[in-house]
């Protein structure tokens, strides 16, 4: 447990010092596994995830300044890079149909038309919290999902030396969508699953700006009256796809293996599909435990 | 939970390896079909090695020259593929290398029809973020899909037909001749070109022996971008290696088999089938075993228990139990597993009671939690004192949640060298066990 905490702290602080902040809902594939009940009785996913967003810069030929132009925003900066680390946990869920036998069975393949309504809470470094209601429904081998994240965050800017500065900050309460679906194949004799999912998600990239002193104290010579400059917000839709690798248990051997319940572990990688109109690049890695 | 913690390494490692190998080549052509189809309903993994020869309108006989560089059109005339497939009924998952290109493959498989998709790992993981040119990221993608029909002729021979649509890569090399003394100057760098292909083919496969097969495959492809015709002839050998035990059920089965083996020589039953007829004094009980605070017990031999075995020192084997009853007439004790519902019998002569279980010390974890919240608290409040206060609160909060909200007896036990070091006399052990008499016949 201590090693996990240390790894989380290290990873979180690496991401916390990125210049920009990302706000986007979490991956819905773990919830799809919980709804499928391929590991009977396991319906609460908990995840760690890290995401990053970059922008393909263009150069203004007249001014020679770099800028990032998305379908709804034009940001004049020489670099746009955002990194994010978050922890998600399921606080409440309703899944259907009810799984009568949670001890497992040979050739148990989950519910073909399983579904679920999930309420997840998240904490994103440094100072963002939120809740995400999510709906997932399987239709045979595929599933569809919809999630809407409400988040409240306090985001910091940088000083004139480009270091984190708490005096430059912005608060933001916002909502972002994640819509899509996926499919997964299960190798039941091994307890392995391979899946792909995709869809369209909203990405919000925010920068609280940098500090610029606007006046000088002539008595001391110090620069005073800091103000925020160049803060911006980008909110765009991007198409993305993801690959999922799952390991789970569902054999009727709980007693023989001295286990209390079945569970699953999933690794997912998501990648945004860049188009000519939208130069944002999105990439995310998440690790999820479903218990 | 124990089975998942032991099996979660595979998906994490595979993902990590995929990310590492993604830096290799991204060129890919459709993989052979016959070995993939033969994975149907196999518990063993299918391991395939093939060589392919390409012919037709290959782009490998020209060089474009400019003042300080040249580009060699050097499409390969052949290739080798190594692949592995594991199957779960109608679903097969595979991975491998096409010379320098790692790829993943998966799809539906059955005796007569197959549908598969593949993608080079570079394309899957890096193409969306690698900026090559102004085209969309899918322009540099290598992968595709294939529909396969298979007809078994007899026990040894099968024929099949394939239809595919894919995005292939072909080899193109750029050489910069004006880079002075830079490392690598003058060496060709790969600049693969991608094209969309549709086509089809057929294959013949034969069983060599119980563990190996061979196939010969012919495939035609029409390059839709440059209007070229290509053919590929592939010779594929595959065999069946042992099942790859990487999934959660594999680990669960392995742990269960060890205990099932022990259960052949142990008397066992489940808590549901136990009955007690006599009342114990001041002891909580479930009507079957006496329920006690999780207790350490020293045992003589690892084959006598179905619980997790701890070794505080080399000479001590210790287990924990929350359920116990002593059958005085048989001089045996029934103990309960850590998490499962099985109750097993052990001779009272090979048992000794030890300390009550304590959970692992939370101080270190609480300190880490507090430390992680201290900087965030300091930033939020803008002061060192505020950060310290928030960090301290977070650490105490973590400790309180684990200490009061979690079931202490379900947490990892604290194991230390003095555990079960004290040996009791036979009389002391019997006196201690008599607190927890079994009542009536135990039903198996």
Domain that holds residue B398: 363-405
Of A108-122, A152-166, A272-286, B417-431, minimum mean pLDDT range: A152-166
User: Does residue B260 lie within any of the structural domains?
Assistant: no
Distance CA B110, CA A37 (A): 25
Q: Closest approach of chain A CAs to the CA of B377, in angstroms?
A: 9
Q: Give CA separation, B355 vs A189, B296, B415, B429, in Å.
A: 41, 6, 11, 13
Which residue in chain A has the smallest CA separation from B244?
Answer: A190
Q: Is the same domain home to B422 and B397?
A: no
Per-residue pLDDT reduced to its tens digit, B336-355: 888 888 889 999 998 999 98
Alpha-carbon distance A287 to A131, whole Å? 19
Confidence (pTM): 0.80
- B115 within domain boundaries: yes
How many domains are contained in chain B? 3
pLDDT in tens, A202-216: 999 888 887 777 788
Residues from chain B contacting residue A250 (CB–CB below 8 Å): 249
H or E element, residue B260: helix B248-263
- Convert the pLDDT of each residue in B176-235 to its tens digit: 666 666 666 666 667 778 899 999 999 999 999 888 999 999 999 999 988 999 999 999
- Assess whether pLDDT exceeds 90 at residue B409: no
**Residue of chain A nearest B123, judged by CA positions:** A271
Query: In three state form, how does the secondary structure of B406-423 look?
Result: CCHHHCCECCCCCCCCCC
Within-domain flag for B249: no
Phi, psi of A221 (to 5 degrees): 85, 0
Q: What are phi and psi of B251, to 5 degrees?
A: -65, -40
Same domain assignment for residues B353 and B367 = no
Average pLDDT for chain B: 81
Q: Is B135 in the same domain as B213?
A: yes
Same domain, B395 and B426: no
pLDDT confidence tier of residue A134, bands split at 50, 70 and 90: very high
Give yes or no: residues B140 and B35 share one domain.
Answer: yes
| Residues B75 and B194 occupy one common structural domain | yes
Residue B118 lies in a domain: yes
Domain carrying residue A115: 2-290
Question: What does the longest C-alpha to C-alpha distance in chain B come to?
Answer: 100
What is the per-residue pLDDT for B291? 84
Cβ neighbourhood burial of B119 (10 Å; 0-12, 13-18, 19+): buried
CA distances from A75 to A58, B246, B326 (A): 10, 47, 76
Whether B246 and A56 lie within 8 Å, measured CB to CB: no
- Quote the minimal CA–CA distance from B339 to chain A in Å: 5
Tell whether B347 and B423 lie within a shared domain: yes
Give chain A's domain count.
Answer: 1
Q: Tell me whether residue B253 is in a domain.
A: no
Q: Are residues B211 and B189 in the same domain?
A: yes
At A20, which CATH number?
A: 2.40.160.20
Say whether both B160 and B19 belong to one domain. Answer: yes
B233 and B367 share one domain: no
A10 in contact with chain B, both atoms CB, cutoff 8 A? no
Shortest CA gap A142–chain B (Å) = 13
Indicate yes or no: CB of A281 within 8 angstroms of CB of B128. Answer: yes
A39 at B interface, C-beta within 8 A: yes
User: Which has more confidence, A80 or B236?
Assistant: B236
Q: Which residues, 6+ apart, have CB-to-CB distance to A275 below 8 Å?
A: A239, B136, B137
Domain boundary among B241, B256, B291: B241
B110 lies in the same domain as B214: yes
Whether ipTM > 0.85 holds is no
Minimal-distance CA residue of chain B relative to A187:
B88
In-domain check, residue B322: yes
Q: Based on the fold, state whether residues B213 and B69 are members of the same structural domain.
A: yes
* Ordered DSSP codes for B92-124: EEEEEEETTEEEEEEEEE-SSEEEEEEEEHHHH
| B252 found inside a domain | no
Helix axes B363-381, B384-400, angle to 10 degrees: 140
């Amino acid at each position: 447990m201590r090693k996990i905490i240390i790894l989380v702290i290290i990873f979180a602080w690496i991401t916390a010092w990125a210049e920009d902040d990302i706000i986007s809902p979490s991956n819905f594939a773990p919830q799809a596994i919980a709804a499928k009940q391929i590991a009977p009785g396991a319906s609460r996913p908990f995840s760690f995830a890290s995401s990053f967003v970059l922008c393909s810069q263009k150069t203004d030929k007249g001014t020679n300044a770099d800028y990032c132009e998305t379908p709804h925003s034009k940001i004049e900066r020489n670099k746009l890079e955002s990194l994010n680390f978050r922890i998600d946990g399921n606080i409440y869920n309703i899944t259907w149909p009810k799984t009568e036998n949670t001890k497992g069975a040979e050739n148990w393949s989950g519910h073909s038309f399983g579904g679920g309504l999930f309420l997840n809470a998240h904490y994103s470094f440094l100072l963002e919290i939120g809740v995400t209601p999510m709906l997932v429904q399987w239709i045979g081998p595929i599933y569809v999902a919809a999630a809407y994240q409400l988040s409240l965050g306090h985001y910091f800017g940088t000083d004139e030396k480009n270091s984190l500065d708490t005096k430059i900050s912005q608060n933001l309460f916002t909502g972002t969508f994640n819509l899509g679906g996926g499919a997964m194949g299960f190798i039941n004799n091994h307890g392995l699953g391979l899946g792909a999912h995709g869809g369209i998600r909203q990405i919000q990239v925010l920068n609280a700006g940098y500090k610029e002193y606007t006046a000088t104290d002539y008595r001391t010579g110090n620069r005073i009256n800091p103000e925020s400059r160049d803060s911006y917000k980008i909110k765009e839709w991007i198409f993305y796809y993801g690959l999922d690798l799952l390991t789970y248990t569902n054999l009727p051997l709980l007693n023989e293996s001295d286990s209390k319940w079945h569970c699953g572990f999933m690794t997912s990688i998501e990648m945004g599909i860049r188009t000519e109109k939208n130069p944002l690049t999105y990439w995310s890695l998440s690790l999820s435990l479903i218990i | 939970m124990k089975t998942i913690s032991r099996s979660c390494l595979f998906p994490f490692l595979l993902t990590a390896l995929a990310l590492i190998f993604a830096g290799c080549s991204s060129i890919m052509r459709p993989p052979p079909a016959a070995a993939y189809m033969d994975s149907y309903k196999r518990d063993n993994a299918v391991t395939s090695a093939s060589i392919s020869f390409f012919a037709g309108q290959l782009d490998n006989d020209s060089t474009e020259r400019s003042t300080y560089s040249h580009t060699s059109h050097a499409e390969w005339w052949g290739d080798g593929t190594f692949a592995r497939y594991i199957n779960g009924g109608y679903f097969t998952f595979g991975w491998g290398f096409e010379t320098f290109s790692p790829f993943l493959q998966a799809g539906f498989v059955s005796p007569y029809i197959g549908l598969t998709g593949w993608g080079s790992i570079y394309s899957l993981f890096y193409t969306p973020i690698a900026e090559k040119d102004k085209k969309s990221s899918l322009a540099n993608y290598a992968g595709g899909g294939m529909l396969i029909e298979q007809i078994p002729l007899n026990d040894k021979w099968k024929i099949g037909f394939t239809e595919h649509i894919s995005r292939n890569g072909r080899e193109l090399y750029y050489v910069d001749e004006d880079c002075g003394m830079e490392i690598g100057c003058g060496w060709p760098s790969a600049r693969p070109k991608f094209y969309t292909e549709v086509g089809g083919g057929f294959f013949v496969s034969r069983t060599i022996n119980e563990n190996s097969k061979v196939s010969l495959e012919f495939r035609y492809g029409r390059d839709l971008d440059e209007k070229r015709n290509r053919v590929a002839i592939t010779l594929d050998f595959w065999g069946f290696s042992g099942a790859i035990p990487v999934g959660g059920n594999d680990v669960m089965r392995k742990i269960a088999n060890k205990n099932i083996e022990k259960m052949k020589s142990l008397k066992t039953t489940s808590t549901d089938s136990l009955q007690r007829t006599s009342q114990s004094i001041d002891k909580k009980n479930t009507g079957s075993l006496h329920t006690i605070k999780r207790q350490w017990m020293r045992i003589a031999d690892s084959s006598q228990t179905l619980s997790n075995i701890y070794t505080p020192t080399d000479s001590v084997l210790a287990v924990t139990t929350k359920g116990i009853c002593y059958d005085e007439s048989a001089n045996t004790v029934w103990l309960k597993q850590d998490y499962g519902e099985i109750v097993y019998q052990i001779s009272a002569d090979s048992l000794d009671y030890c300390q009550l279980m304590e959970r692992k010390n939370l101080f270190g974890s609480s300190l880490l939690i507090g430390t992680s919240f201290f900087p965030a608290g300091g930033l939020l409040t803008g002061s060192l004192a505020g950060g310290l206060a928030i960090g301290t609160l977070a650490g105490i909060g973590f400790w309180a949640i684990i200490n009061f909200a979690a079931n202490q007896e379900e947490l990892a036990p604290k194991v230390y060298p003095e555990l079960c070091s004290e040996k009791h006399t036979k009389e002391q052990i019997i006196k201690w066990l008599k607190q927890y008499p079994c009542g009536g016949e135990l039903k198996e």
